[in-house]
Every structure is written in C-alpha cells, then in structure tokens.
Structure 1
Amino acid sequence: MTDARENELGRASADHPTPGEPGPGPSPSHELSAGGVGPWIGERPTDPWYDPELLERGDTRNVVDRFRYWRMDAIVAELDRTRHPFHVAIENWQHDLNIGSIVRSANAFAAETVHIVGRRRWNKRGAMVTDRYQHVQNHPDVAALVEYCAAEGLPIIAIDNVPGSVIIETFDFPARCLLLFGQEGPGLSPEALAAADAVVEISQFGSTRSINASAAAAVAMHAWIVQHHPF
C-alpha cells in the first residue's frame, strides 16, 4: 500500500465516531484495506481505544476500516453498544463444520449472542477469528437452551424446511428472538423443532432438497435485518 493510500486510511480511521457516539450504520462497501494496513503514517493518535502495538506494526486483522488499529476489547465494547436484539443458536451434536461460518455471519449482522447447543468444542476455522468479537454461550442440550430463552423472554424461531413451516418471505420476525439452526444433513433435532414457537423455511426453486446450513443462517439473519434495522 502506498504512503498516500495509508494516509487516506489513517484519516478515515481518525474520523470515525468516538466510542459511544452514533455509529455509521452498515459498513461501506468501499473498504480501503481488505488485505490489512501497515504502520500508522504521521502523528499517532493517543485516544484510548487505539492499540499502540498495532499503530507501530500495522493491522492485518479481519475487521472493517472503522476499527483499524483499535484494541480488541474496545471493538467488542463498541459492538456491544449497537448489537441487534436477535440471538442465533446452532445444534452441535456432530462437530458441524458450518458453525464457524454461522458465527462469522452473526458477527457481520451484529447478533446479540451465538448459542452452541450440544458439544462445547466447535470448529472455529470458518469463523475467521470473528468469535473474538462475538458473544458465544454453550448449552448442553435443547432443554437448557429452552430454559434460557424462557428466562430471557426470547421466542424461538426454528429455521428448517419441514412440513408445516412458514415461508420466510411472509414471516414477521419478532424484534427480540432466537433463530435456531440445525446441522448439515439431518437439520434440526425433533427436540428443537418441538421447542420452537415458529418454524420458518427459506423458499427454494431448484432441484436440491436444501441449501447449506451456513447459507441458510445468513439468509435468515439478513431477513431479520431487512425487517428491523432502519436504513
């Protein structure tokens, strides 16, 4: 990256809202630093959310330009201020490789919390380190998740293409809710489907029986965003 381009990014980083001020809304599509940025050029900022080490050596993390050179805890704190009130849950009985990708999408759409149901260990490769910025909780079984949702007043919206489901294009998502996803192949367990307040399916028009679990999760999260995020 040239010095001029690095200076352009430095100005963009310096001009972003101070933590606690209104955020910029969706991240712009014209990100300057898809491959990361080098050391800060010019006089270095002293604001407390900046990481002196990143200012010194550069920032190659998977974050939007708004958060370049920020400390990880400062990023989490700022995200906590503006997270959306929907939660995401994934069943994890067979160490599903899709979980990491679902966590990444949950971070992209600023979900409140991701809940892993079943095995505590999950494949983080697809998360691309976004789990560091995303609240993740574990529940040993569906009953524990249901208990949590009851205590928090979260209706459970299961996403699966099963008989009796409602198509997502006509479904009104509650502002506060938990989107529940199953594993690749078997889908949601009978216990999860029985616990759901509603079951929603994504309309399909080709020959395949279902789409990838992580793709379905991204579609469902974005459907919530379209209905509830002010644009």
Structure 2
Amino acid sequence: MTEAQHEGFPEPEHPEPTLPHGVPPWPGGRDAWPADANYDPDLLEHGDTRNVVDRYRYWRMDAIVADLDEHRHPFHVAIENWQHDLNIGSIVRSANAFAAETVHIIGRRRWNKRGAMVTDRYQHVLHHPDVADFVEWARANDLPIIAVDNVDGSEPVDAAPLPERCVLLFGQEGPGLSDEAIAASDRVVEITQYGSTRSINASAAAAIVMHEWVRVHARR
C-alpha cells in the first residue's frame, strides 16, 4: 500500500491562488516593460494575481527565492508529521511570512500542503525520516532545538528570549510533540494562556512563537 493510499486520498497540486487585489498587465505594453531580469515576461503581459508582497510583483519565482535567500532569518522551523496534520501547511505559510531559513518535516515525507497556499514554493523545505535524523542534523549545524509544547517543565516563551540561531520544533494538533522529540530538545517553551482551553490550535501557536522570535531578533 502506498502512503497516498494509506492516507485515503491523493495529494493534489494546488495552483497559485488568484486574488482580487492582484495587478493588471504592465501599463504601456511591451515597450514599457522593465529591463530587470527579475521580471517575468508572462506576468508582465498578463498581470500578476499571486499572493506576494508588492515588492515581488511581476517577479519570476526563482528570482523571489533568490532575493529571500539574501535576508532569511537564522531560525528554522521543524514539524513532526506522523498523522498528516492539516496544520502543517499553515505552519509553512507562517514560516514563509516570517522568513524562516528552512522548514523541516519530520516523519512522513508527504505532508498536507493545502494550508500552505503554495508558499512552500518560496520556502526551503527539508525532510527527515525520523526524530533521530533531525536531531543529528541540528547538532551538526550547532542549532539548539526549542520544543514548543505545554508540558511539565516548559517555560513561558516570553519569559526568556529565544536564541537567535535555533530550530523551533512543533508537534501535531492533539498529541503535541512525541516523547522522543521532547527528550531531544534543549529547551521546552509554552505560550501563556488565560482561558479555559488547555491548548490553542497548533498553527496558531506556531505563528505566535515565530512572531516572538521576530519581535526579539528581527531588524525592521
């Protein structure tokens, strides 16, 4: 049985989302097109409805990735993928928004991309078959692993600054991080809560913690 059959459905390729606030073809026709090689002739001719910031309007995808590589932040994001969690795509989208260096998928190679809204095309994604392989990679690159889970012994993420170079490790909706992942982490942090629910949505938690890193370390 293939993994796709095991999941019960195929993994579709989602097209770039079209947005009502896109831009039309470049005004003035071909004679007015910019000479910069970053620009995509097809987008200049037909318009750009992709979900990209204005700076990257009409740019080629590879040009956007190359430019992002010039100023990605030195934190990584890792996600355990044992249950094909729908939140993984949303976490990848947030990692792109906050310019994370790389997203690491631990476990199943295939992951649910729907929530990513194709931002994975602009984001470096690295697969690790298991926690041990991920930990070996992190140690080899001298990156502390910061687990995010509200378990005994975790500390509020806003109580002590996150390291500038690190991997933020997230679990899945419901079970959270595996015991193996928790044991391999250098620190475990949690988000302080004040209501009745025991936990918040996994992708929301990931966005909060990434923003906490940005709040402390990012240069505007």
TM-score (norm 1): 0.85
What's 1:97 paired with?
Answer: 86
Task: Note the 1:130-209 alignment, pairs <5 A.
Answer: 130-209=119-198
How far apart in 2 are the matches of 1:57 and 1:156? 45
Q: Is contact 1:92–1:118 with CA below 8 Å preserved after alignment?
A: yes
| Cα distance change, pair 69–116 in 1 and its aligned pair in 2 (3 A) | same
Mind listing any 5+ residue stretches in structure 2 that lack a counterpart?
1-18
1:70-89 alignment to 2 at 5 Å? 70-89=59-78
Q: How many residues align?
A: 199
Partners of 1:56 and 1:86 lie apart in 2 by: 37
Percent identical: 73
Deviation of 1:169 (Å): 1.3
Segments of 5+ residues of structure 1 without an aligned counterpart are 1-32
1:43-102 Cα deviation digits (max 9, x unpaired): 111110000000000011110111000000000000000000000000000000000000
Query: Residue 127 of structure 1 aligns with which residue?
Result: 116
The ranges of structure 1 where at least 4 consecutive aligned residues each deviate by more than 3 angstroms after the TM superposition are none
Q: 1:57 matched to which residue of 2?
A: 46
Which residue, 29, 35, 40 being the options, matches 2:21? 35
Hey, what does 1:19 align to over in structure 2?
Answer: none
Aligned-residue offset at 1:209: 0.6
Quote the offset at 1:35 in angstroms: 2.2
Q: Distance in 1 between matches of 2:152 and 2:20?
A: 43
Alignment partner, residue 55 of structure 2 = 66
Write the distance in 2 (CA, Å) between the matches of 1:152 and 1:168.
23
The residue aligned with 2:7 is none
How far did 1:34 drift? 6.1
Compute the RMSD of aligned alpha carbons.
Answer: 0.9
**Conserved 8 A contact 1:181-1:217:** yes
Structure 1: distance between partners of 2:20 and 2:55: 12
Secondary structure of the residue aligned to 2:112 is coil
Query: How far is 1:129 from its partner?
Result: 0.7
